[in-house]
Amino acid sequence: MKAIVQDRYGSADVLELREIDKPLVTDDRVLVKVRAASVNASDWHLLGGGPVLARMIFGLGVRRPRNRVPGGDLAGQVEAIGKNVTRFKPGDEVFGSGRGAFAEYTTCSDRFLVPKPRQVSFEQAAAVAVAGCTALQSLRDKGQVKPGQRVLICGAGGGVGTFAVQIAKALGAHVTAITGPKTLALVRALGPDEVVDYTQGDFTRSGERYDVLIDTPRTVHSGTSSAC
C-alpha cells in the first residue's frame, strides 16, 4: 500500500511517499481503508519530535520515530476486524483516531472509532476526532455546561474553538467568542451570541462574568491566554 513515511525527525522534508506492507489486524483492532485523513497540530509537533525527554515520556522513539507513518485523525471503511471486535463489521463507514492515518490502510482500536453519519462526508468526518473530542470533553464533561449558562471561548477561530462554539450553543449556553480579525467572519457564521475581536480592546476589563471559560492553544500565541 502507499503511505507517507517518516524515518527521522525534522521538517516536512523528511516525509516520503512509499510502498509499504499493509498492517496486520490483531484481535482487538480494526483494519480501516482510509478515505480521508486530516492534519492535526499534534502531527506537526510529532514531526519534529520535540525535546528528547518528551520523546521518552510519550514513547515516540528517542533517535527516530517509533511509528514511521504519521497521522491520527481519519475516516474510512472497515476492511477487516479482529476476533474480539463486536462493534463493527467489514463495510461499515467510520471515523475517529488511530496511528498511521497518512496511508491507504491503518489499524485502530475499536474504542476510538464511531459510525460515520451518512450525511457527513469522509473529508468532514476526518477533521473531527481530536479537535472535536477536546471541545466536547471540555464543555460537556469538565465544564458540565447547562442551558442558560454563560460560556467564554478564547481562540474561537481555531480547530478546537470552532467546535467549542457550536457545541456550547447546542448545550444551550450563551456564548461569547474571542478571536482575531482574520477569523471574525468564520466565527460569526458559527452562531455565537457575541463575538469579540481581541485586537480592538482588552476583553478581560469588560466586567462580564462567565460560568465556564475555555482557553484553546490558539490564544497562547495571541498573548491572551493569561486572561482566561
Q: How far is Cα 160 from Cα 10, in angstroms, rounded to an integer?
A: 26
Mean pLDDT of the residues in the chain: 90
Where does a domain end: 108, 127, 146? 127
- The pLDDT assigned to 59 comes to 75
- The pLDDT assigned to 61 comes to 84
- pLDDT at position 172 over 90: yes
Please, what's the b/e burial string for 18-57 (b: 16 or more CB within 10 A of its CB; e: otherwise)?
Answer: eebeebebeeebbbbbbbbbbbbeebeebbebeeeeebee
Triad 157, 158, 163: Cα angle to 5°: 85
- pLDDT at position 228 over 70: no
Q: Quick one: cell of 168?
A: 456550547
Q: What is the pLDDT of residues 85-139, one digit of tens each?
A: 999 999 999 999 988 999 999 999 999 999 999 999 999 999 999 999 999 999 9
Where does a domain end: 102, 127, 152? 127
Average pLDDT on 182-187 reads 96
What is the domain count for the chain? 2
Triad 219, 52, 9: Cα angle to 5°: 80
- The pLDDT assigned to 49 comes to 84
208 phi and psi, to 5 degrees?
-70, 150
Q: What domain range is 56 assigned to? A: 2-127
Residues 114, 21 within the same domain: yes
- The CATH number for 165's domain is 3.40.50.720
Where does a domain end: 82, 98, 127? 127
- pLDDT at position 54 over 60: yes
Residues 38, 109 within the same domain: yes
- The pLDDT assigned to 217 comes to 56
Q: How far is Cα 86 from Cα 18, in angstroms, rounded to an integer?
A: 33
Residues 169, 223 within the same domain: yes
Q: How far is Cα 128 from Cα 141, in angstroms, rounded to an integer?
A: 17
Residues 17, 44 within the same domain: yes
